[in-house]
A and B are shown apart, each in its own frame.
Chain A
Amino acid sequence: MPEVQEVFRMATKKVKPDPNALERQVRRQRSAARSGRARAYLAVAAVIAMIAVGALVLARRGNQTNLEPGTSVSAPPAVTLPTAAPQEHDYVNISTGVSSPLPGNIGGGKAYVVSPDGTRFAYNPCCDPPIAISVANVDGTNAHSIAGRETISSASPEEVDAYGAAWSPDGSKVVYQGRDGFTEKLGNLFIVDVRTGVRTQLTELKQILSHYWFMSPHFSPDGTSIIFNQPRGPIEDQTWDLWSVPVVGGDATIVRRNALNGSYSPDGTMITYVQSRGVWLASADGSHRRLLVTGDKAENPRWSPDGTKIAYEDSGRVYVADVASGTAVEIADGSWPEWFNDDTLIIGP
């Protein structure tokens, strides 16, 4: 496209990087190598200190009380995450549009999914590989990794990055996609027990290469299966299908062809998904589909907890559609909408 290239040429021909950029880069590389070792030593010292203080407190109190759901004294050590950069995800009231920030120490991440009992988040704390999944109380306390490189010392490269956390209906487990974030490979689905950290590989999928590799896994409301999408065809001409796999393992079965980002309604009778032209609804077995809202750039539809609304994003804006009428209302700029409750979304940048 000569016009774009010409504009680019004019915009950048007089602008060049600082000629000392390489020297600065080398210094930063070496500094990073040295500080990486220093950070490791400091982290170990900090954990030892925390354990010592914790033992002292326990000794004074006698018994541990007020154990938060999902935590366990035998769980992996709760590594206190560093204070994040200014956070970008907000709570947004869908009626008033009023927004407020997430707790600062867990902000800056992506895809904050609240547990069924509303007390915890599962989320990706950062955006570049290695990608982990963390769980934290909604007030930002007790943040710790449950999936990803930091938690699995024996992980193969194919599962070191974790994406797409979704809670089981009883809040005890999280399903996620484990894959190698440096590649275009699909990876597989895993389920992790949030309390014990025990991880189970759910699928053994053919490692199809895809530029859009996200499988968007979700539990069924009865907790017995996972719905997810899988690419089909060569990487240069690909489509996606919705599949279902039993939580106890076994063969996956097709739910709907040419569909992605699927999830079940809270009562388990319907699914929503995206396909060309918009957000769709269908029966839970994939039959009897109907178009909910148009929008060929719509993605990530999410059922409200009461099942009466679906939030989705389209071209950098978040909308909420009424399931019964199909009327959609624009809520805010942003992406990755997740319901905090029936009146509040968590919206990302």
Chain B
Amino acid sequence: MGSVRPWSVRAEGEIVPFPQDRVEGWARFDTFFEEEHERLFKALYFVTGNRADAEELMQESFLKLWERWHEIDRIDDPTAYLFRVAMNAFRSRHRRAAMALRKLTPAGEDRDAFVDAEMRADVRQLLLDCTPRQRAALVLVDLLGYPSQQAARILGVRPSTVRALATQGRRTIRGTEGARDA
């Protein structure tokens, strides 16, 4: 991986230093990225079922956080902010894709989801039986441990909706035949 270089090169060829606080900001952001990006990526993969989407959403989220990094002291929970940005972007894409698909073909299951994950077919089916919103609720509540009110804030819904989505997701994962052997 590259390291942060505290220099920029002017068009004229003269090398000038960046302000020290900018350099320190980059270093802190890079540290935060190293600590968080794999977890965010896996969570987004779990929600989207698509590696490319997870990568794009992850990059987009970190870029938006970077644009606000100078105000980081005001952000109560940068991780929650990352997820919220990512979920907003995912919801936008998901609806556009669903609308486009509905116009062209009858609704059907997403056969291309989770193709990058090596797992048994029945486990894959468990995931496909859950909607992306249910998987998102499970990520936030069960895997990341956010209380339902904070998860609701991240997903942009009411706490009761988060609890319902998580309950539905758990029932789906536990209730499908063969799940206990997964």
Interface residues of A (CB under 8 A from B): 1, 3-8, 10-12, 14-26, 28-29, 32, 36, 85-86, 88, 108, 127-129, 157, 180, 182-184, 210-213, 235-236, 238, 296-297, 299, 315-316, 335, 349
Contact = CB atoms under 8 A, between A and B. Distances in A.
B58 interface: yes
A29 B67 CA distance: 8
A15 B153 CA distance: 28
Nearest to B94: A349
B55 interface: yes
Interface in B7-34: 26, 29-30, 33-34
B88 to A, nearest CB: 4
Contacts of A8: 42, 46, 138-139, 143
A28 B170 contact: no
Given A12-B46, A16-B41, A22 B76 contact: no
Q: Is the interface of B mostly helix, strand, loop or mixed?
A: helix
A212 B158 contact: yes
Contact of A11 (B45, B59, B92): B45
B135 to A, nearest CB: 9
A20 B1 contact: yes
B143 A26 contact: no
Interface residues of B, number: 71
B81, B158, B179, most chain A CB atoms within 10 A: B158
Interface in B86-118: 88, 91-92, 94-96, 99, 114, 116-118
Nearest to A108: B92
Contact of B30 (A3, A14, A22, A129): A22
Interface string B150-181: 10110011111100100001100110000100
A4 B138 contact: yes
13 contacts: A3-B174, A5-B143, A6-B182, A11-B127, A12-B42, A17-B41, A17-B54, A25-B62, A36-B67, A88-B96, A127-B88, A182-B75, A211-B159
Contact of A29 (B26, B34, B91): B26
B170 A24 contact: no
Nearest to B124: A11
A349 B38 contact: no
